Amino acid sequence: MAEVVPSSVLIADDEEEIAQALGRVLGRKGLTTLLAKGGREALDLIRAAHPDVMLVDFRMPEMDGMELMRKSQELDPELPVILITAFADVRGAVEAIRAGAHDYLSKPFDHREVIRVVLSALHSRRVKPGLKRLPVDIDPLREIFGPSEAIGKVISAIEQVAKLNFSVLIAGETGSGKEVVAQAIHRASSRSTGPFVAIDCGAIPEALLESELFGHERGAFTGADQQKAGKLEAARGGTLFLDEISNMALASQAKLLRVLQERTMQRLGGTKSIEVDIRVLAAGNRDIEDLCGNGTFRGDLYYRLNDFAIRIPPLRQRKADIPFLAKRFMDLTNLELGKFVKGFSKAAIGAMLAYDWPGNVRQLRSVVRRAVLTGEEIVTEEQLAFKKGIAAPLLDNEPAACSQVANEEWDGLPLREILRRNLVDLERKVIAHVLRSAGGNKAKAARLLHVDYKTLHSKVKEYGIQTEGEKLNGQETY
């Protein structure tokens, strides 16, 4: 049997001690376990967490194991179900297997038998050809993005273009879920059994991006000590997702355009033409059409990528999704941390609806996770702590360093020069602060500040800013 990859097992049993005992047995094998005390809670967990296997007690109040199995198959027809039975119910378990259950376990448990049956179920799920976690990954976008009318339009656009081989340009602010949309298009396409390969063009320095995309031959440049296939080759037969494509240099844009036109490529330093059968999805948080106007993005590449466009509205323009998403993130964090936070106070809901969420869904998730970590039964407005969120004001921890005017002699200087000197000093301190908070990762810092990677890189060099990692080993941290 193939080695088990980290997987999740949902255990639905109203007897908490039995569920916890099974959880401990499976946990020792490196499996993640989710516990549900009844059928309704189990169905909620299937929707939210998409487990790989479900263990179900044959006899439970309100909803028995057979009914739960039938309803779970409506949500995920490929979810293997294992019945937990007492000796007297073995005949019923056999009937359940005929109705579609994978296997059954009878009490009292043999730990080795529990592991064997669960691993068998996991293996059967993975080896099925063309298997997807859900039969169609369009409806689950409602679970990810929310129930608003604006998201309904995004989902309709995905349904419209997914089966076609069109290139798609996905526009949206940082943190709005562009890669989630790209993955949904891939999963609902005819290429779903092929690879989905993503590359963040804003997180890779310009000098390395072409090697990442095209690959290279041994000896193509200093340090290329072996042949390497690039992302274009890795995505053959599937989908290549180019995130933050507006950060790609013009020379790389020209080479990418040629690949898309001719459907062939060469590795750096190579002469052999390699056929490339891929679908390209691209995304950016800036208006690429405007970049074409100022000459920083090729118009011919823009039109090649823009067969079809999907724009994801920012969270502040679809506030109907905020309570739904906050509850979803709360539920998932409760599962992760083993907590039982029940909800938000009215003041907390009001504060979330009033806030503009500059970091979009990513920021909301971060704020809710932190609130659940520190909260008890109900999350209060104070526990949301917006100012400490990802995209909130960045200077809270260093008021003296970032708000104090530079200590200089101003006599005889015009106001414009005084402001220029102090704005430069402020810019240096802000960049240094954000770079530290990003752990020295310039690409992450650039995204937080909503500037190009190249702009931030040149500013860091101009001001001589060093991260702790650079101070220790003299190397840049990307």
**349 shares a domain with 218:** no
Are 415 and 374 in the same domain? no
255: in domain: yes
Instruction: Tell whether 301 and 156 lie within a shared domain.
Output: yes
pTM given for the model: 0.55
Question: Is the pLDDT confidence value at 469 over 50?
Answer: no
Answer yes or no: is 207 within a domain.
Answer: yes
> Could you report the per-residue pLDDT of 72-98, keeping only the tens digit for each?
888 888 889 998 877 545 556 566 676
Which residue, 359, 388, 417, sits at the end of a domain? 388
Mean of pLDDT values over 41-69? 87
Do both 147 and 228 map to the same domain? yes
- The total number of structural domains that make up the chain: 4
Whether residue 248 sits in one domain with residue 184: yes
- Identify whether 1 is part of a domain: no
In the structure, what pLDDT confidence band is assigned to residue 10 with cuts at 50, 70 and 90? very high
Residue 394 lies in a domain: no
* Predicted local confidence at residue 88, as pLDDT: 46
The answer on 13 and 78 residing in a single domain is yes
CATH at 427: 1.10.10
Q: Let me know whether 276 and 338 are in one domain.
A: no
Residues 307 and 159 in one domain: yes
> pLDDT at residue 476 above 50?
no
For residue 473, pLDDT beyond 50: no
* Mean pLDDT computed over every residue of the chain: 79
pLDDT in tens, 218-255: 877 777 778 888 889 889 899 999 998 988 888 889 99
In this predicted structure, the answer to whether residue 137 has a pLDDT above a threshold of 50 is: no
Flag whether 289 is in a domain.
yes
Residue 135 lies in a domain: no
The CATH number of whichever domain residue 21 belongs to comes to 3.40.50.2300
Do 57 and 153 sit in the same domain of this protein?
no
**Position 116 in a domain:** yes
Q: Is residue 306 part of a domain?
A: yes
Give the structural domain span for 226.
Answer: 140-311
For the stretch 256-272, pLDDT in tens is: 999 999 888 888 888 88
Q: Are residues 116 and 239 in the same domain?
A: no
**Residue with the larger pLDDT of the pair 123 and 78:** 78
**Residue-level pLDDT at 171:** 92
| Same domain assignment for residues 296 and 183 | yes
Mean pLDDT of 361-374: 89
The highest-confidence range among 72-81, 210-219, 412-421, by mean pLDDT, is 72-81
Assess whether 457 and 428 both reside in one domain: yes
Interval 181-195 mean pLDDT: 89
Where does a domain end: 266, 293, 311?
Answer: 311
Question: 264-265 and 274-275 as β-strands: parallel, antiparallel, unpaired?
Answer: antiparallel
Write down which residue in 311, 339, 366 finishes a domain: 311
**CATH number of residue 350's parent domain:** 1.10.8.60
Q: Which two tokens stand for residue 54?
A: 């479900």
Q: Sheet harboring 168-171: ordered strands across?
A: 196-200, 239-243, 279-284, 168-171, 308-311
